[in-house]
Amino acid sequence: MHFVFIKKKWLLLCFLLIVIGFSAWYYLAPKSIQTVAGEKPKETINIDMVTAEYKTKLDNGTELEAYRWDPGTIVVEKNQKVNIKIHGINGMEHQFHIEGTNISGVVKKGKTTELPLVFKKEGVYKLICDTHNQKFGPMIGYIVVD
């Protein structure tokens, strides 16, 4: 029977190399599981809207027109970062505000107005055009926050 003797320094060196190898793997490996407490940060969602115009002329010569945001309703999650891009397609200019917030602005024809938003409360927020408040219905869009 033969005995193999391993010196303490070689045993300690092997142990240290194993610890260093696992440490390097742990810190350099891609993280597929989030280890930090709390919610994972949500990516920003981009939503495109346009200003739309509908016109018609009645037989008696009366002109009717209606404006709207398209899409007329968008749904987002509470605390979700949203970037709403409103493209001015019809109408020279649309001054607007979002009811229940301090957000307001202007959309001009041929331009894009960007609104980076995060809604902290659930509810329905009206996107109201202050320029087109006509008798055939105001220009209102709805932002539904779940």
Q: What is the pLDDT of residues 55-96, one digit of tens each?
A: 899 999 998 888 899 999 999 999 999 999 999 998 889 999
* Pick among 1.10.3720.10, 2.60.40.420, 3.30.70.3270, 3.40.50.880: CATH of 45-145: 2.60.40.420
Q: What angle do CA 106, 107, 109 make, to 5 degrees?
A: 140
> Residue for token digits 């008696």?
60
Mean pLDDT of 29-39: 49
For residue 15, give every residue at least 6 positions away whose Cβ sits within 8 Å of its Cβ, in sequence order, or none.
Answer: none
In the sheet that holds 81-87, the strands lie side by side as 63-70, 45-57, 81-87, 112-118
82 or 16: whose pLDDT is higher?
A: 82
Q: What is the DSSP string of 66-101?
A: EEEEESSEEEE-TT-EEEEEEE--SSSEEEEEETTS
pTM score, two decimals?
0.67
